[in-house]
Amino acid sequence: MQKTLVMKFGGTSVGSSEALSHTRQIIQDAKKNWSGVVVVTSAMSGVTNLLLASAASAARGDITSLADAESTLRDKHFSAAEALIADKNLRERTKADLDQMIFTLVDLCKAIAVLGEATPRALDAVASLGERMNLRLLTAIVNSSGIPAVGVESTGLIVTNAHFQNAHPDFKATEEKTKAALNPLLDQGILPLTTGFIGATPDGVITTLGRGGSDYSAAIIGSVLPADEVWIWTDVDGVMTADPRLVPAAKTLPEIQYSEIAELAFYGAKVLHPKTIRPILNAGVGLRICNFFNPTHPGTRLIANGRSNGKSNKPEDVVKAVTAIRKQRLITIEGRGMLGVPGVAARAFGAVASTGTSVPLITQASSEQSICFAVPSEAAKSVLDALQSSFTHEIEDEDIDRIWSTDDVSIITVVGAGMRHTPGVSGRVFSQLGNHDVNVLAIAQGSSEVSISLVVESVDTENAVRSLHKLIVQ
């Protein structure tokens, strides 16, 4: 029976001639051990930002920077083609395809300049070009190495709704299209390559899955085929116990449960896109996070909840990791008139939702006299304005005393499935913070007990993470 591996390469992994050469070697090595391999590629590093900056300038009526953008894109992609595609005819065809993509960017930006605005649909069309260009380049490079490969844009695989810039996939339609397109290639021993980050509506209009969505693309494709494993190639050895920039003693976790990585991905760990977990978990597909710069390192493997090779009485199996989200603000709605009044929370979060803001943390006292929640700092003003508008009459009647925001704070999250069965973990967490003079502003813990989240002053972020990390290594 054919065993299938889906590998996703991020922007750093495909960002230069040297990186693409290394990626080609990783693909060749994988082909020796797996009968079926599917590759998902991101845009070359820096390209998506350049594309979106060009669109933003065009929306302001300025297309003077387009020539520089064209030149940068050609230099970046053509230099890799010259270095890594030996066959002259294949190289020239690839460069012509890349040129066509660059001309498409110019046409889109000129249209945006005429209209004077960049709609979400237009931005998705522009942002998709980085992945689409790199698909053509990497497919030619792999073919040039002697591996038969075919590039298939994920617009023909992943079917989404029309929520441009953050589209949601239709998994049933995606499964049908993905199997129909990729299985015949895999059966013939051909390596399919596809684009991360993008999909299309049922009518074929290009959408994107949100920034960083290439991980999600790999998970979707891996789940619907279904593959045996999905490997995410990134620039670190796997999921670490903390950000090594904050904690030099941070270590790579050899394995982590789905529930734990879901918490870490949501609360600031940049190794994996938060949406990646669900399709992988639902399909029962194995997931491994690998270091592109250290491919022999085993990385981190995700395991089913409740399974572990370690002993549950070890500290590192209780608290697995500590992470931080900076640049948050706490919004508080308080007033004695809120006591026992139904619907206050619903109206509050309805107002927040109207601004398009996600809330990462909520806490409420049992007295019901205040609701406190966190939002990204840049969204705080619009959220406050929406709340003031929603509760105008309650404020006038003094049922609500005030709605206010803190200055910047950080959300610190302690993660570990072992906390669920270990008494006293919360006490150890707060004792540790108290011993290191860190004041806690708010606390939240889900019913799953896989994580404890707490809010601290921005200046206490590093001290809080370092002190809590000692609970893992002591």
Q: Which distant-in-sequence residues (6+ apart) come within 8 Å of 425 by Cβ?
A: 318, 319, 416, 419, 452
Domains of the chain (ranges, CATH numbers): 4-234 (3.40.1160.10)
Question: How would residue 311 be classed by pLDDT, with cut points 50, 70 and 90?
Answer: very low
Comparing 472 with 173, which gets the higher pLDDT?
A: 173
The pTM (predicted TM-score) of the whole model is 0.84
Comparing 115 with 269, which gets the higher pLDDT?
A: 115
Alpha helices in 60-87 (DSSP H): 66-84
* Stretch 257-264: mean pLDDT: 81
Whether the per-residue pLDDT at 447 is higher than 60: the answer is no
Amino acid at 307: R
* Stretch 119-138: mean pLDDT: 97
Q: What is the dihedral of CA 83, 78, 14, 58, to 10 degrees?
A: 170
What is the percentage of the chain residues whose pLDDT exceeds 90?
70
- C-alpha closest to that of 302 among 250, 232, 235, 234: 232
Beta bridge partners of 374: 330, 361
Mind listing the pLDDT tens digit for each residue in 18-54? 999 999 999 999 999 999 999 999 999 999 999 999 9
- Read off the tokens for 329: 């603000």
> What local confidence, expressed as pLDDT, does residue 312 receive?
43
**Average pLDDT across the chain, whole number:** 90
- C-beta of residue 305 within 8 angstroms of C-beta of residue 256: no
* Stretch 410-438: mean pLDDT: 87
